[in-house]
Structure 1
C-alpha cells in the first residue's frame, strides 16, 4: 500500500519508520523539499535534520505536500502542526479528494501571554485554539468535505502510537473518531498493524474536541511531580 505522511518532525518520523518497517511504500510531504533537505542543524525540538533520517530509510520518498498526497492510494497521515494544518491541507484539497486522512495534530498556540501562565519544563504551556465548541479535526473536515477525516493517535506520543507494547506491554487504550465508518476502519486496521489491541471508537468527529483537549491532561501527567513520566505512559479505559 502507498501511504503518505505529511510532515517531517519527530512524530511524523515515528510513523514513517514504522510504516517502512511494515513493508508499506511511504511518501512524505513537506512544505519546501529543497529547504527541508538543506537543513544541517537540529530543529527547536532537537530533532536531527531530515536528510539524515532519510539516508537511514532509503525506500522513503520526499515530495511537496501536494505530490505526496497524490502519491497515496488512499491513506494519508497528517503530521502538520496544528496551527498551520488547515491552510496547508486546504491548499492540496484536490490531491486529498476521496482519501482517508488520519489527523493527530493538536491545535496549540505557542506564542501567547496568559493571565495565569502554566509553567512547564519547556516553557509556558500553549493554549488550545479552537477549544470546547470546535476542534481542529472538525475544521479540517469542513475545509476538506471530499476527504474522510479521522481523529486518532492524538492522546499519545507518536513513538508510543507506533509501538504500544513499549508501555505496559501494550495494555492501554487508543481512540478513533470520525463520521465515515470505512475511514475509521482503515484507521483501526492501521492501529492493529502497529500492535494495538484496545481500540475504542468514540463515535462522530465531534469527539475530536475531547481528544484534543486531553492534550493538557497528557501534559499534566507527563510533567507532574518529579517529571518522572515525560510522554512515556499510556491510559486505559476500564470497562
Structure 2
C-alpha cells in the first residue's frame, strides 16, 4: 500500500526508531520531515550513537528526500501527523516548547518514560545495565501528560508494544499475524493512526479506549523487555490478542 497523495509527515527523533519510521514513510511515498534538537550538532556527529546506529549524516545520505529540521520546523511542516520518538525523559518539555507547531495535529506518541540511572532498592540487572525506572507509572502516563499539556493536540498512544522496526514492518514476524494498540480521546485521530498502521501492513489494531490506557502500554515495556531477554537478544517477536 502506497500513499496516493502528497502528504507531509513529521518524525521527531533521529534514533533507531525514528529512522525506521522515516525510511518506511518515504518508501510509501510520504514527504518526510525529521526533527532534531540541533541540526548542526546532529550532522556533525561522527561516532555511532548509544545504540550503535551509524552517524545520522551517513544514514541521511542513504535516504535522499528525507529532510532534517529542528523539532519545531519539522512539526510545522507536517500536514496532519507528527510521530513522537523523542526519548521519554525529554518528550514532554520538548513538545510543550513547540506547542504552536503542533496545534490541531495528530501526535502519535510511542515514547516510554524511562528514567535512566535512578536509585532503586531492588535494581533489575540486564546485559546492558540496570533496567530503567518508569516515571510516571501506575497513576499517570507520559501520554496523558502530553495530552494535558497540549489540549489543542490530538494525542494517540501507539507503536509502544513493539520494536519500531516491527511497527513499520509487521509482516516480518509471523506474517504480520499480531496485534497493535491505539489509545486516545479523539476517535478521528485514532482512525488516522489506524490508517497509517494499515499502510505499514497491520491488519489487527485494537482500540483500548481513552488516553488513560497509555498507562498499560507504557508499563508493558518492562514485560516486553523480559520476554526479549528470555528469547535472547536480537530475537524480535509479536504479541497477538486471541479473541
The verdict on a shared fold, with TM-score over 0.5 as the criterion, is yes
| Residue of structure 2 aligned with 1:200, choices 163, 188, 206 | 206
1:221–1:229 Cα contact (<8 Å) kept: no
Q: Whole-Å Cα distance in 2 between the matches of residues 229 and 116 of structure 1?
A: 23
Q: Whole-Å Cα distance in 1 between the matches of residues 65 and 233 of structure 2?
A: 34
Q: CA shift at 1:121, angstroms? A: 1.1
SS in 2 for 1:16: helix
1:234 aligns with 2:238: yes
Q: CA shift at 1:113, angstroms? A: 2.3
SS in 2 for 1:40: coil
1:8 aligns with 2:14: yes
TM alignment of 1:170-181, pairs within 5 A: 170-181=176-187
TM alignment of 1:113-132, pairs within 5 A: 113-132=119-138
Q: CA shift at 1:231, angstroms? A: 5.4
Deviates more, 1:197-206 or 1:227-236: 227-236
Question: Per-residue CA shift, 1:146-181, capped at 9, x if unaligned?
Answer: 000000000000000000011111000000000000
> 2:38 maps to what in 1?
32
> 1:68 maps to what in 2?
74
Give ranges in structure 1 of 5+ residues lacking alignment. none
- Aligned residues between the structures: 237
Q: Whole-Å Cα distance in 2 between the matches of residues 27 and 85 of structure 1?
A: 18
Q: Whole-Å Cα distance in 2 between the matches of residues 69 and 37 of structure 1?
A: 19
> 2:152 maps to what in 1?
146
Question: Per-residue CA shift, 1:47-91, capped at 9, x if unaligned?
Answer: 111111110111001000000000000100000000000000000
Q: Whole-Å Cα distance in 2 between the matches of residues 89 and 113 of structure 1?
A: 27
Question: Per-residue CA shift, 1:108-166, capped at 9, x if unaligned?
Answer: 00111211111111110001000000000000011111000000000000000000011
Q: Whole-Å Cα distance in 1 between the matches of residues 234 and 113 of structure 2?
A: 20
> 1:186 maps to what in 2?
192
1:50 aligns with 2:60: no
Q: Whole-Å Cα distance in 2 between the matches of residues 66 and 78 of structure 1?
A: 12
Runs of 4+ in 1 over 4 A off after TM superposition: none
**CA-based RMSD:** 0.8
Q: Whole-Å Cα distance in 2 between the matches of residues 229 and 40 of structure 1?
A: 26
Q: Whole-Å Cα distance in 1 between the matches of residues 222 and 235 of structure 2?
A: 12
> 1:158 maps to what in 2?
164
Tell me the TM-score normalised to structure 2 length. Answer: 0.96
Q: Whole-Å Cα distance in 1 between the matches of residues 42 and 233 of structure 2?
A: 31
SS in 1 for 2:117: coil
Give ranges in structure 2 of 5+ residues lacking alignment. 1-6
